[in-house]
């Protein structure tokens, strides 16, 4: 049953290694077969990475504003601009001034030279706690601390795009993206907000990020392989991707009043976290999937945001196959790379585009995914964080 407070998606801004903007991703979702994605196996060898595509930042950010941003901020501001443009709100001063904004972001980029200096010096001394304090007070640029602030992405979106309603920034890797979407959804559903810009951005092409992931031996090594086909023989299974994904969410009443195009309706969103031992992950995912329990398999497509971590991905896929028997499952991270904070918003963007376009989404892993026989009317989006945090969203075609 329709409601004025139904939460609908009216704007999509998306950048991955597949290309810039929704058109490149519509092409991916509607292709007869998904080709091998662009993956850089040389720059960070032995770790493959899905790099950013060629981007004209000036299309969304004037040059003077670009200079004050690191790449992760630029990517977020750029993707947010694409979403506002797509929703037809970029030049609507009144709408942007009252628009809520919820961003998922990590920390800023590190000074690799200083990191390397500290490590080298630590090999020569035993008083490493004193060494660390010495170098942090003498070697780091004062402006670097400012550039680390996670809410700078939201701040720059406000400056560049004049989105000046309430602003929230979540940190916490994949769970941050889940919480951002969940919060925007429930505020609109409860009538506390009428329109919101929500999303995140992640730059994978950073040595410190790869070190962080490889610290728990989670990163794949060598050549790219499809997500469900990865093996512990080639590292941990994760292949990171630079991703920007923002959505404009509105109440149905507001969207219809202005004649906006509605890509899809969000029926439910929930996130959770907890211990994953002894089947607790499986129980939690099954509970999160409850709002989709009545959906018919052949009428549903599942966009799994699995990280690619070998054992974890296998556990998630087993739950999805049980809960959504007969549904087409797509591990989209195999095509885009894993985008941490941006992973859940990216999944919603791809799901909404596929529903709106009546797409027969091609398999991203020919050995482990089944072909779609007809366009889906419903989509389920999942994200299971590589260390913690789970989220599920349920979407429907706009009737």
Residues 133-152 pLDDT 10s: 888 888 876 656 665 678 88
The single-letter DSSP state of residue 30 is H
Q: What is the structure's pLDDT at 147?
A: 57
Alpha-carbon distances, residue 18 vs 10, 38, 39, 336 (angstroms)? 22, 7, 10, 7
On whether the CB atoms of residues 320 and 334 are closer than 8 A, the answer is: no
What share of the chain in percent tops pLDDT 90?
Answer: 82
Say if residue 46 is preceded by a cis peptide, omega within 30 of 0.
yes
Indicate if 205 and 269 belong to the same structural domain.
yes
Strands 390-396 and 264-272: antiparallel
Identify the bridge partners of residue 238 per DSSP, sorted by sequence position. Answer: 219
Strands 167-170 and 300-304: unpaired
Indicate if 216 and 344 belong to the same structural domain.
yes
Q: Which residues of 146-177 are buried (b: 16+ CB within 10 A; e: fewer)?
A: ebeebebbbebbbbbbbbebebbbbebbbbbb
| CA–CA dist 251, 266 (Å, integer) | 10
Tell me how many helices (H) and strands (E) the chain has: 15, 11
DSSP 165-191: S-EEEE-SHHHHHHHHHHHHHHHHHTT
| CA–CA dist 226, 239 (Å, integer) | 10
In the block, which residue shows the tokens 């004062």?
A: 142
Indicate if 265 and 129 belong to the same structural domain.
no
21-54 pLDDT, tens digit each: 999 999 999 999 988 999 999 999 999 999 999 9
Identify the bridge partners of residue 104 per DSSP, sorted by sequence position. Answer: 170, 200
Indicate if 100 and 133 belong to the same structural domain.
no
DSSP helix, strand, coil percent of the chain (3-state; round to 5): 40, 20, 40
Indicate if 161 and 119 belong to the same structural domain.
no
Q: How confident is the model at residue 294 (pLDDT cuts 50, 70, 90)?
A: confident
Tokens of 165: 């309603």
Indicate if 285 and 198 belong to the same structural domain.
yes
Q: Which helix (H) or strand (E) holds 303?
A: strand 300-304
Q: What is the structure's pLDDT at 102?
A: 98
Q: What is the structure's pLDDT at 138?
A: 85
Q: What is the structure's pLDDT at 132?
A: 87
pTM of the model: 0.93
Check pLDDT > 60 for residue 309.
Answer: yes
In the block, which residue shows the tokens 């789970």?
A: 390
Q: What is the structure's pLDDT at 142?
A: 64
Q: How confident is the model at residue 108 (pLDDT cuts 50, 70, 90)?
A: confident
Nearest to 29 by CA among 299, 396, 338, 372: 372
Residue 70 counted as domain residue: yes
145-173 pLDDT, tens digit each: 665 678 889 999 999 999 999 999 999 99
3-state secondary structure of 11: strand
Indicate if 137 and 283 belong to the same structural domain.
no
| CA–CA dist 158, 139 (Å, integer) | 32
Nearest to 316 by CA among 249, 222, 384, 244: 384
Q: What is the structure's pLDDT at 49?
A: 98
Q: What is the structure's pLDDT at 97?
A: 96
Indicate if 330 and 263 belong to the same structural domain.
yes
The single-letter DSSP state of residue 90 is T
Mean pLDDT of 367-385: 96
CATH number assigned to the domain comprising residue 190 = 3.40.47.10
The range of the structural domain enclosing residue 290 comes to 7-108+148-396
Residue 2 counted as domain residue: no
Nearest to 161 by CA among 54, 59, 262: 59
Mean pLDDT of 275-298: 94
Mean pLDDT of 240-268: 98
315-370 pLDDT, tens digit each: 999 999 999 999 999 999 999 999 999 999 999 999 999 999 999 999 999 999 99
Check pLDDT > 90 for residue 227.
Answer: yes
Indicate if 54 and 141 belong to the same structural domain.
no
Report the domain count for the chain: 2
Check pLDDT > 80 for residue 112.
Answer: no
The single-letter DSSP state of residue 264 is E
Residue 82 counted as domain residue: yes
Mean of per-residue pLDDT scores for the chain: 94
On whether the CB atoms of residues 280 and 290 are closer than 8 A, the answer is: no
Mean pLDDT of 262-283: 97
Indicate if 280 and 318 belong to the same structural domain.
yes
Helix residue ranges, H only, the chain: 22-30, 63-66, 71-87, 93-97, 112-122, 128-138, 142-147, 152-161, 173-189, 207-214, 252-257, 280-288, 310-323, 333-336, 343-356
Indicate if 120 and 262 belong to the same structural domain.
no
Q: What angle, 0 to 180 degrees and rounded to 10, lies between the N-to-C axes of helices 152-161 and 71-87? A: 50
Indicate if 273 and 320 belong to the same structural domain.
yes
| CA–CA dist 301, 395 (Å, integer) | 10
| CA–CA dist 307, 219 (Å, integer) | 10
């Amino acid at each position: 049953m329709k409601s004025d407070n139904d939460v609908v998606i009216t704007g999509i801004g998306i950048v991955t290694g597949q290309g810039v903007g929704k058109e490149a991703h519509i092409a991916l979702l509607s292709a007869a077969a998904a080709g091998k994605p662009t993956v850089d196996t040389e720059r960070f060898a032995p770790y493959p990475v899905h790099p950013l595509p060629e981007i004209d930042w000036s299309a969304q950010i004037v040059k003077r504003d670009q200079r004050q941003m690191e790449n992760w901020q630029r990517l977020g501001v750029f993707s947010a601009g694409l979403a506002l443009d797509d929703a037809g709100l970029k030049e609507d001063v009144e709408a942007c001034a009252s628009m809520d904004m919820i961003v998922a972001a990590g920390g800023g980029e590190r000074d690799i030279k200083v990191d390397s200096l500290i490590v080298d010096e630590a090999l020569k001394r035993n008083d490493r706690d004193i060494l660390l304090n010495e170098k942090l007070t003498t070697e780091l640029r004062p402006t670097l601390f400012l550039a680390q602030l996670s809410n700078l992405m939201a701040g720059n979106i406000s400056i560049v795009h004049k989105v000046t309603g309430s602003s929230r920034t979540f940190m916490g890797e994949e769970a941050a993206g889940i919480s951002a979407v969940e919060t925007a959804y429930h505020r609109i559903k409860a009538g506390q907000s009428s329109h919101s810009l929500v999303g995140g951005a992640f730059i994978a092409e950073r040595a410190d990020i790869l070190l962080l992931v490889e610290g728990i031996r989670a990163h794949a090594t060598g050549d790219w392989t499809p997500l469900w086909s990865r093996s512990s023989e080639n590292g941990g299974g994760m292949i990171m991707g630079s991703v920007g994904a923002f959505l404009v969410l509105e109440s149905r009443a507001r969207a219809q009043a202005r004649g906006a195009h509605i890509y899809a309706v969000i029926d439910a969103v929930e996130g959770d976290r907890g211990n994953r031992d002894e089947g607790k992950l499986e129980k939690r995912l099954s509970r999160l999937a409850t709002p989709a329990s009545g959906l018919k398999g052949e009428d549903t497509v599942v966009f799994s945001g699995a990280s690619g971590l070998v054992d974890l991905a296998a556990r998630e896929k087993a739950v999805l196959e049980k809960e959504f028997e007969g549904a087409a499952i797509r591990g989209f991270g195999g095509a885009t790379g894993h985008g941490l904070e941006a992973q859940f918003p990216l999944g919603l963007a791809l799901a909404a585009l596929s529903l709106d376009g009546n797409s027969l989404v091609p398999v991203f892993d020919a050995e482990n995914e089944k072909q779609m026989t007809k366009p889906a009317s419903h989509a389920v989006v999942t994200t299971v964080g590589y260390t913690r945090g789970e989220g599920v969203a349920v979407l429907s075609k706009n009737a």
